[in-house]
Amino acid sequence: MKKIEAVLRPEDFEAIKKALKSAGFVSLTVYPVRGRGVQGGIPPYDLLPKMKLEIVVPDKDVEGVIDIIVKHSRRGIPGDGKIFVLPVYDAVRIRTGERGEEALY
Ligand SMILES: Nc1ncnc2c1ncn2[C@@H]1O[C@H](COP(=O)(O)OP(=O)(O)OP(=O)(O)O)[C@@H](O)[C@H]1O
Ligand SMILES: [Mg+2]
């Protein structure tokens, strides 16, 4: 399992959310954040508002999720966002006790 963490332009999130659902990736976590990339913000703003998306998927689904995110956020200009992929040790669906990938879908 991997956790995909994407820092996105807030205005891109709705389309990404819809496309993920259409592709069968329903479960996700999102929250508003502030951040800066290599340009260091846009003066006078040091930190710009972004949306952070977190989605945990089996290894086989990582590239598909990345493709969906990139498709809906790449303009080819600075600030398009960034994606991080992290290993996930385990998952627990509290209701059933299912573990690992069985707890995801
Ligand atoms: N190395 C990093 N660590 C943590 N967060 C990051 C990192 N790089 C980018 N981010 C987050 O992602 C957001 C968007 O980054 P951004 O798309 O500007 O990346 P970039 O590396 O500056 O690339 P670009 O040159 O295309 O703008 C930042 O505002 C920040 O919240
Ligand atoms: Mg940048």
Phi and psi at 59, nearest 5°, equal -55, -35
Boundaries of domain holding 79: 2-103
Residue type, 28: L
Q: Strand, helix or coil at 42? A: strand
Structure tokens at 52: 């952070």
Q: What is the pTM of this model?
A: 0.96
Count of structural domains within the chain: 1
What's the pLDDT score for residue 41?
A: 87
pLDDT (tens digit per residue) in 37-77: 999 988 889 999 999 999 999 999 999 999 999 999 999 99
Residue whose CB lies within 8 A of the most ligand 1 atoms, among 33, 36, 39, 74, for a mutation test: 36
Cβ atoms of 56 and 99 closer than 8 Å: no
34: CA distance to ligand 1 center in Å?
11
Question: In CATH, what number is assigned to the domain containing residue 32?
Answer: 3.30.70.120
As a whole number of angstroms, the distance between CA 41 and CA 47 comes to 5
pLDDT tens track for 19-40: 999 999 999 999 999 999 999 9
Q: Do the beta carbons of residue 71 and residue 19 sit within 8 Å?
A: yes
